[in-house]
Structure 1
Amino acid sequence: MDIQLTINDIPLTVPEGTSILDAARTVNIDIPTLCHLKLNEMHYNNNIASCRVCVVEVEGRRNLASSCSTPVASGMVVKTDSLRAIQARRAMVELLLSDHPKSCLTCAKNMDCDLRALAAELGVRAISYEG
């Protein structure tokens, strides 16, 4: 069965059981995530929904939804780029950085770090939390 929904004012139809994250990807909407990885070369999907960086606003819901673990529903209206979602992502990245090793210069992923790239994209320049 197909489900009709709207993401960022774009109507789309996806198969039942599709996550908001995967539905957004079908129309080239980027929702950042750190823990939801498709490692095709290793034939492995990491779908633990633990980083909470992919939160989005769903009309009618009080709380933000993690897009990687929330299945689409008929008539759902999703905003991936609302101020509330972006601020929540920024806070999650700051929390992750607060408990992250501070050895970026010696880390093997230094120039290819998704967390560092996401922090820059979200404008995280200082960490407000202690690890």
Structure 2
Amino acid sequence: ESGRAIGEAARFYKVPVDRIIIFHDEIDLAPGRFRMKKGGGAAGQNGIRSAIAHLGADFRRGRMGVGHPGDPKLVHAHVLGDFAKADQPWLEAMLNACADALPFAIKGDDERYQGEVMRLAPAPKFSPRQAANGG
């Protein structure tokens, strides 16, 4: 139901949909990766599905990579659970970079915003061998 609150706030404050940025976790991006996108579908993300229902699809999205747990049965717990302590450094860096680069997003320059976030907080390098062994 997050889309209901966003939609009501947008209408009350008369914020055009294309000026709204919704930041959300994205399992289709590696941990620490960041992408800006405008429009599109929900891709199984319930919060985005709710936002589309109440705003339409033309809002901007800050897609914050959290990675896929590997097994589809583990997705629910992965996205609703707490981050591991080992994830804190890249997570904190990405959140700080999203805040520090925000002037570019406010100006509507999503490409520059995305680039600046990734410059300030480069995604960690994960070894596929390490990931397969649980690390």
- For normalisation by structure 2, the TM-score amounts to 0.31
Q: Which has the higher strand share?
A: 1
Q: Which has the higher helix share?
A: 2
- For normalisation by structure 1, the TM-score amounts to 0.32
